[in-house]
Amino acid sequence: MNFVKKNRSFFKYILFGLCLTALFLTAVLLNRRADDKETYPITRVSVILPHKDDGYWNLIAEGISEERDALGAGCKIDINMILPQLNYNIAQMTDLLKQQIAAKVDYIVVQGNEDETFRDVLQDAWEQGIHVICVDTDISDFPEHLYVGTNNYEAGKLMGEELVELTGGSATVGIISGEEQYQNLQERLRGFQDVVQEWPDIEIKGVAYDKYDALTVMRLYHQMADEAEVMVFLEGTGGKSMESVYDGPVEEYEYVLGFDAYDGAKRRVLDGIVKQDTNLMGRQVVREIEQHIKTGNYSADCIYTDIFWLTAENYDEVMK
């Protein structure tokens, strides 16, 4: 009888000890989960793209998505890509920006522009502690932020150097750009002008703005043919419009140069284009966000992606 009582007491102590151990382990796990949640929260990123197309911004979006997917299921970066209803509509992009500020996201990725209201709202985001990243187009005199994209001054210089090579340093040139208030286009124009001003027989007849509208592109294209031998497009809308209208070389100009119209270069609608590495732009944005989360720093304040001169002759080599 005493033996049974002693065994019962022994088992009670064991059971009590096991219960205490279980409670302790549960508390440790709960604390660890709480610590993990606090130390590694979900990082929310809003990407406001100005336009959905088949040859530029969609490649940036694909790069962002591909790099995010490559990080795997354990990555705690949530990326939301947003578009205005109208292409390159700054007022709508400003409203989208306000919405993301109100949602208190962690990072905002935008194409920079010099519109005063847009800048003020972006400044408000920065003042509220939201990290600002400009992709494709930087924004001048803005507080600490990251830029990922082309060195647009060098892209303009490349265009000018190729023009000199094609024309032997003698030509009349018409230029069509997008909008005056985009820093990337201003830098391209400045780089182009800095090259051609060294060649007195190259004359720029004028700079017209297409407002990123294909119908305006074609109207200006035909209108400027009366004065210019060479047409230069400083942004992708011009080249993309040309490749959608023409199947091969044009008759209105001796040479046509542009940006980002890959198929147009391949079919010789354009004699050469500046190809930007848009997929890498998107990928690099995600890589820099991941690094910033882990270390508190980007690789640099300004990260330039590569540019290439693309023609029908080197198409396979450059595009591989």
pLDDT in the model for residue 11: 55
Go through 6-43 and write b for each residue having 16 or more CB atoms within 10 A of its CB, e for each that does not: eeeeeeeeeeeeeeeeeeeeeeeeeeeeeeeeeeeeeb
Over residues 63-90, the pLDDT tens digits come to 999 999 999 988 999 999 999 999 889 9
Cα–Cα distance list, 283 to 59, 68, 101 (Å): 10, 8, 24
Burial of 177 (0-12, 13-18, 19+ CB in 10 A): buried
Share of residues in the chain with pLDDT > 90 (%): 81
Mean pLDDT of the chain: 90
pLDDT tens digits for range 237-258: 999 999 999 999 999 999 999 9
Per CATH, the number for 152-277+312-317 is 3.40.50.2300
Would the pLDDT of 106 be above 50? yes
* DSSP state string for 12-50: HHHHHHHHHHHHHHHHHHHHHHHHHHHHSPPEEEEEE-S
CATH H-level, domain 43-150+279-305: superfamily:
Response regulator (3.40.50.2300)
Instruction: Give the tokens for residue 9.
Output: 């007491």
Residues 206-219 have a mean pLDDT of 95
Please, which residues bridge with residue 273 across strands?
258, 310
Count of all residues that appear for the chain in the document: 320
Better pLDDT: 23 or 155: 155
d(CA 172, CA 283): 39
pLDDT band at 180 (very low <50, low <70, confident <90, very high): confident
With contact defined as beta carbons under 8 Å apart, do 43 and 105 qualify?
Answer: no
Q: Report the amino acid identity of residue 159.
A: M
**For residues 1 and 172, which has the higher predicted lDDT (pLDDT)?**
172
Fold match flag (43-150+279-305 vs 152-277+312-317): yes
The mean per-residue pLDDT over the stretch 133-138 comes to 95
Q: How do the domains of the chain map onto residue ranges?
A: 43-150+279-305, 152-277+312-317
Give residue-wise pLDDT tens across range 16-45. 555 555 555 555 445 544 444 445 589 999
pLDDT band at 14 (very low <50, low <70, confident <90, very high): low
